[in-house]
Amino acid sequence: MEDCIFCQIAAGKIPSAKVYEDEEVYAFLDLGQVTKGHTLVIPKEHARNMFDLPEETAAALFKRIPKIANALKETLPLEGMNILNNNEEVASQSVFHCHIHLIPRYSKEDGFGLIWHSNEDDFNNEEAQKLAAEINQRLV
């Protein structure tokens, strides 16, 4: 897609700090560097996000994640890693080409954090079973 910045990066039309490349996947350091080593992993095939990603492309993309994550772990003195994917603007997707964030974690004070709110008091077992069955029907 010509107007997609990540497609242009993968095609070599825009420079990047390339971490990894093969025929299907491209990985590069995020310009924002939430933490040192923050890497984006993208499929070379354009897809807006996970909702539009063909299964074969997803398999190729996720197959490379452990390899790249372990290279980061061997290179940097990290203590952990967040692996994130945002889909659509409401979920903080800002570039609409599917991508996975690998965010090395060095401590709880390294500048990145997630806030999880539990809604378990508003969600009972009966509702959970009903919702699970509805989702499962769409997977058949």
User: Is 0.75 surpassed by the pTM of this model?
Assistant: yes
Structural domain spans, the chain: 3-111
- The DSSP 8-state label assigned to residue 136 in this structure reads H
Q: How far is CA 58 from the centre of its chain?
A: 11
Q: Which range among 28-32, 43-47, 84-88, 119-123 shows the weakest confidence by mean pLDDT?
A: 119-123
How do residues 81-128 score in pLDDT, each as one tens digit? 999 999 999 999 999 999 999 999 999 999 898 888 888 888 889 999
Q: Which CATH number fits domain 3-111: 3.40.50.1980, 3.30.428.10, 3.40.50.620, 3.40.50.10330?
A: 3.30.428.10
Q: What DSSP letter does each residue of 22-69 carry, written as one string? A: -SSEEEEE-TT-SSTT-EEEEESS--SSGGG--HHHHHHHHHHHHHHH
Find all residues with CB under 8 Å of 60, minimum gap 6, and list them.
24, 25, 43
What residues are labeled active site?
Answer: 99
CA–CA separation, 70 and 87 (whole Å): 25
Q: Which range among 28-42, 66-80, 113-127 shows the weakest confidence by mean pLDDT?
A: 113-127
